Amino acid sequence: MLIDTVNETLISSANVSKQVNHVFVFLEIFVREGGIQSYVKDIFRAYLGLSAGYQAEVFVLRDSSDCSNPFECDDLKFNYFQNQSPQMGRVKMAVALLKYLLQKRPQHVFCGHIKLAVLIQTLCQPLGIPYTVLTYGKEVWEPLKPQERRALISAAGIWTISHYSRDRACVANNLDPNKVKMLPCAIDGDQFTPGSKLPDLVEKYGLTDAKVLMTVARLWSGDIYKGVDVTIRALPKIAEVFPEVKYLVIGRGDDQPRLAQLAKDLGVSSRVVFAGFVPTEQLMAHYHLADAYIMPSQEGFGIVYLEAMACGIPVLSGDNDGSADPLADGKLGWRVPHRNPDAVAAACIEILKGNDQRCDGQWLREQAIANFGMDAFQKQLLSLVKSL
């Protein structure tokens, strides 16, 4: 039956006018929240604002039509393939995508994850349709399976979010760095703005008269690289200079019991506040509680640093990761060895003293938006799309 469908569409495809410029294929967008999902949504916002004439069809493997989707419109149409059987969902998406490629012959296909790259290569290459693979961070930092690496090498282009992520992927998989183009994460300066601490939240978390350090991160045992444990270990030294210091941890996950026990063992339980999950729409009010955003991590980029800076909050990151881009190699924030509690403590003390330009909230916000605001993101996307 599939062969018959392919033959029919091949015969008719020559008579079908091009209605769509591009195709996007993603694993998931709306079914869960995360850094990649947020980045993809920014791509959609920017794409819809490019100009008249840009249209795309979007195929999403793990989402369903029940998901709330603010981007559905005539210029951006979505196809969902969520299925109780992941294998069946993948087969259905592959058949639908092949049929679409044969009928519409889009100008370019954007593969939204390395796990989809082999499928996209298999469908696009015989049809002569160029494709670009979007990469983010650790999913391409180690040697890939041979088929995935071949799919990357065969791609017309590779996009990634930071120079660090590019360099690690190229070294691990022997890729040409000149083939990799930058599309860094973006910050919505209207969604994240400076503001005062809400008394209700101050009372809720017991932060009255406190100097507040904050981290927003998944508390998963597989994500200890976020550095929450390192910051907890730094608290005793910070408290020697700022006895009113408290650490607000926003996020949830199976690593929280270990982190709580660590705080107890170090005698800083009363200083660590686990806030749990906070919805995106409430996140800005929580950033306003912070005197410093602390995440000595290893990130592909680190959108949370931009969120904090847009709110006028000084930031600390690790010194060997993609945060070099949002922090402008240390010009906009503190970068320290990511597993070193003493270095974290020393930097936190400097930040809380507030004598550095990097603590100037207005200046910090202006820099973040100028370099990574939605206008800058849209210009970069347009430049990349035009160069295809």
Instruction: Please indicate, yes or no, whether residues 227 and 292 belong to a single structural domain of this protein.
Output: yes
Over residues 86-95, the pLDDT tens digits come to 999 999 999 9
Instruction: Please indicate, yes or no, whether residues 111 and 34 belong to a single structural domain of this protein.
Output: yes
Range of the domain at 284: 199-371
Task: Please name the residues in contact with 227: beta carbons below 8 A apart, sequence gap of 6 or more.
Answer: 215, 294, 295, 296, 297, 318, 338, 339, 344
Domain annotation covers residue 38:
yes
Instruction: Please indicate, yes or no, whether residues 136 and 54 belong to a single structural domain of this protein.
Output: yes
Q: Kindly report the average pLDDT of the chain as a whole number.
A: 93
Instruction: Please indicate, yes or no, whether residues 323 and 378 belong to a single structural domain of this protein.
Output: no
Q: Alpha-carbon torsion 307, 309, 314, 319, what sign? A: positive
The whole-number pLDDT of residue 20 equals 53
Domain annotation covers residue 136:
yes
The whole-number pLDDT of residue 16 equals 39
Instruction: Please indicate, yes or no, whether residues 256 and 142 belong to a single structural domain of this protein.
Output: no
Q: Alpha-carbon torsion 301, 305, 307, 312, what sign? A: negative
Digits of tens for pLDDT over the chain (388 positions)? Answer: 444 444 444 444 443 344 458 999 999 999 987 789 999 999 999 999 987 789 999 999 999 999 999 999 999 999 999 999 999 999 999 999 999 999 999 999 999 999 999 999 999 999 999 999 999 999 999 999 999 999 999 999 999 999 999 999 999 999 999 999 999 999 999 999 999 999 999 999 999 999 999 999 999 998 889 999 999 999 999 999 999 999 999 999 999 999 999 999 999 999 999 999 999 899 999 999 999 999 999 999 999 999 999 999 999 999 999 999 999 999 999 999 999 999 999 999 999 999 999 999 999 999 999 999 999 999 999 999 999 8
pTM: 0.88
Domain annotation covers residue 113:
yes
CATH number for the domain that contains residue 340: 3.40.50.2000
